[in-house]
């Protein structure tokens, strides 16, 4: 009978026994390595402390003795040291440049696509992420939208929802050659959310279908792209389509009658360094990149022509994120969705924009500015597709400001 100790692990040589260090190495080489290592790990903090002393008269690392040692404080301290590290801040842009330029790696913020196209990484991740997770509780967009719709309805205001597609949903062929030119995709979460909105009777504008149709047409005609190559936002062409479709939908629903204001258009091209590129925070990269030429179209009225301006007393309020801000508040101004929608509807709109905060923050801001809802008949709520899953502050239920509340604006 086998009486040897049986094994789930019988290491053939050592049974997890320590091994002795090597002997007979080159003493100078050993000393050189030790000096290099100790010098490296000691020089960085000494250099940092010296700089801080010269600059501020105090050493950030010693802050640890002024804080209560809680987990939160320790994390904050550690992040503070990392963020403040001069060595890290000096090296990081160069490394990011090398990673981007030579290895086509854009880190956590950017995804390098085809033909010079860049994609905002969180939006790309959103398109891929599992759709099986339940979006529930304070993170359920449909519940928040329905609650907002009902609260507005109680005040006699209609709600039109406008999800702005992720760039990678409309241009998957610029992400990877696995997609045929002109194809678009819909993530499982977005598909599910749109279906739930339909089921809940929420009125929304399906820009996914509209942009897909536009891409099919533009592929044959060589029309301008609907999104910018280096930026996460839509192009003037995308803005124009969105404005047209939203306006048409509002009229079809009978919620809005076209006004009498005659707006004109004038060319206002700008050179634009995309936000995705800027997120990489690599000055070297920015210097080496040719800014995109964006053929903006400014909405003007009157003689001499004045750029479009909002009217807070309008019966239409549009809420949203940076998709409303681009070309409207950024240069050249009055060339974004708000201005073009106003032109389509022949009337000025009221607007409230919160960068990255369309899921919850913009409604919180609205609650703090009740005058914006005065005289309103329609609210258009724009949010970017990725916010369905990744909305900042989730999808909280935020009450609509009461009608009687006085203005604080």
Minimum separation from the CB atom of position 344 to another protein (A)? 32
Binder to another protein among 50, 53, 76, 91 (CB under 8 A)? 91
Binder to another protein among 110, 113, 228, 275 (CB under 8 A)? 113
Phi-psi domain of 134 (left: phi exceeds 0; alpha: psi -120 through 50; beta: other): beta
Please classify residue 387 by burial: count the beta carbons closer than 10 Å to its beta carbon, then call 0-12 exposed, 13-18 middle and 19+ buried.
buried
Binding of residue 105 to another protein (CB under 8 A): yes
Using the rule CB under 8 A, give the single segment among 2-10, 50-58, 262-270, 355-363 that binds another protein: 2-10
Minimum separation from the CB atom of position 141 to another protein (A)? 18
DSSP string across 232-295: SSB-HHHHHHHHHHHHHHHHHHTS----S---EEEE--EEE--HHHHHT--HHHHHHSPPEEE-
Binding of residue 51 to another protein (CB under 8 A): no
Nearest to 203, CA basis, from 152, 155, 268: 152
- Name the residue nearer to another protein (CB basis): 25 or 224: 25
- Name the residue nearer to another protein (CB basis): 94 or 257: 94
Minimum separation from the CB atom of position 41 to another protein (A)? 5
Residue span 10-49 as binding mask against another protein, x where in contact by CB under 8 A, dash where not: xxx-xxxxxxxxxxxxxxxxxxxxx-xxx-xxx-xx--x-
- Taking a C-beta distance cutoff of 8 angstroms, is the pair 290, 324 a contact? no
Minimum separation from the CB atom of position 46 to another protein (A)? 9
Binder to another protein among 59, 81, 261, 371 (CB under 8 A)? 81
What whole-number distance in Å separates Cα of residue 172 and Cα of residue 274? 19
Half-sphere exposure of 178 (CA within 13 A, CB side): 6
Binder to another protein among 52, 125, 206, 355 (CB under 8 A)? 125
Minimum separation from the CB atom of position 103 to another protein (A)? 4
Handedness of CA 387, 391, 395, 400 (dihedral sign): negative
Binding of residue 136 to another protein (CB under 8 A): no
Minimum separation from the CB atom of position 276 to another protein (A)? 14
- Name the residue nearer to another protein (CB basis): 71 or 303: 71
For another protein, the binding residues in 157-216 under the rule CB under 8 A are: 168-169, 172, 175-179, 185-188
- Taking a C-beta distance cutoff of 8 angstroms, is the pair 313, 274 a contact? no
Nearest to 367, CA basis, from 145, 152, 140: 152
For another protein, the binding residues in 337-396 under the rule CB under 8 A are: none
Binding of residue 86 to another protein (CB under 8 A): no
Binding of residue 92 to another protein (CB under 8 A): yes
Minimum separation from the CB atom of position 292 to another protein (A)? 20
CA angle, 196 then 202 then 204, to 5°: 95
Binding of residue 99 to another protein (CB under 8 A): yes
Minimum separation from the CB atom of position 186 to another protein (A)? 6
Nearest to 287, CA basis, from 109, 103, 94: 94
- Name the residue nearer to another protein (CB basis): 73 or 311: 73
For another protein, the binding residues in 59-78 under the rule CB under 8 A are: 61, 69-71, 74, 78
For another protein, the binding residues in 220-239 under the rule CB under 8 A are: none
Phi-psi domain of 137 (left: phi exceeds 0; alpha: psi -120 through 50; beta: other): left
Using the rule CB under 8 A, give the single segment among 130-138, 306-314, 334-342, 395-403 that binds another protein: 130-138
Strand order in the sheet with 297-301: 264-267, 297-301, 306-307
Nearest to 124, CA basis, from 72, 155, 170: 170
Half-sphere exposure of 358 (CA within 13 A, CB side): 27
DSSP lists the bridge partners of residue 270 as 294
Binder to another protein among 55, 132, 221, 287 (CB under 8 A)? 132
Minimum separation from the CB atom of position 47 to another protein (A)? 10
Minimum separation from the CB atom of position 16 to another protein (A)? 4
Binding of residue 331 to another protein (CB under 8 A): no
- Taking a C-beta distance cutoff of 8 angstroms, is the pair 338, 325 a contact? no
- Name the residue nearer to another protein (CB basis): 2 or 56: 2
Minimum separation from the CB atom of position 230 to another protein (A)? 16
């Amino acid at each position: 009978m086998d009486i040897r100790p049986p094994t789930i692990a019988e290491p053939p040589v050592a049974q997890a026994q320590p091994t002795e260090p090597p002997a007979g190495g080159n003493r100078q080489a050993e000393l050189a390595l030790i000096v290099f290592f100790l010098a490296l790990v000691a020089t960085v903090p000494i250099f940092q402390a010296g700089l801080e002393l010269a600059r501020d008269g105090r050493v950030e690392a010693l802050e640890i003795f002024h804080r209560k040692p809680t987990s939160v404080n320790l994390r904050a301290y550690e992040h503070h040291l990392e963020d403040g590290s001069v060595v890290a801040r000096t090296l990081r842009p160069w490394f990011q440049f090398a990673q981007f330029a030579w290895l086509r790696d854009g880190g956590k913020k950017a995804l390098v696509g085809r033909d010079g196209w860049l994609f905002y990484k969180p939006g790309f991740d959103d398109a891929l992420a599992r759709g099986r997770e339940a979006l529930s509780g304070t993170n359920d967009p449909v519940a928040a939208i329905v609650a907002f719709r009902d609260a507005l309805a109680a005040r006699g205001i209609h709600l039109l929802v406008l999800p702005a597609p992720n760039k990678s949903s409309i241009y998957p062929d610029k992400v990877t050659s696995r997609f045929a030119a002109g194809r678009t995709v819909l993530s499982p979460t977005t598909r599910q959310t749109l279906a739930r909105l339909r089921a809940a009777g929420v009125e929304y504008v399906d820009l996914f279908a509209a942009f897909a149709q536009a891409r099919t047409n533009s592929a044959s005609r060589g029309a301008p792209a609907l999104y910018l190559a280096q930026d996460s936002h839509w192009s003037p062409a995308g803005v124009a389509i969105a404005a047209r479709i939203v306006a048409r939908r509002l009229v079809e629903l009978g919620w809005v009658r076209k006004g009498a204001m005659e707006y004109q258009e004038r060319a206002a091209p700008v050179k634009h360094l995309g936000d995705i590129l800027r997120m990489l925070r690599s000055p070297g990269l920015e210097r080496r990149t040719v800014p995109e030429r964006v053929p903006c179209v400014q909405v003007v009225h009157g003689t001499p022509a004045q750029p479009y301006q909002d009217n807070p007393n309008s019966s239409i309020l549009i809420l949203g994120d940076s998709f409303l801000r681009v070309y409207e508040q950024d240069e050249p101004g009055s060339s974004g969705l708000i201005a073009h929608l106003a032109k389509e509807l022949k009337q000025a709109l009221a607007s409230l924009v919160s960068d990255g905060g369309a899921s919850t923050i913009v409604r919180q801001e609205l609650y703090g500015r009740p005058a914006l809802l005065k005289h309103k008949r329609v609210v258009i709520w724009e949010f970017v597709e990725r916010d369905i899953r990744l909305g900042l502050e989730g999808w909280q239920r935020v009450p609509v400001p009461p009608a009687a509340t006085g203005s604080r604006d």
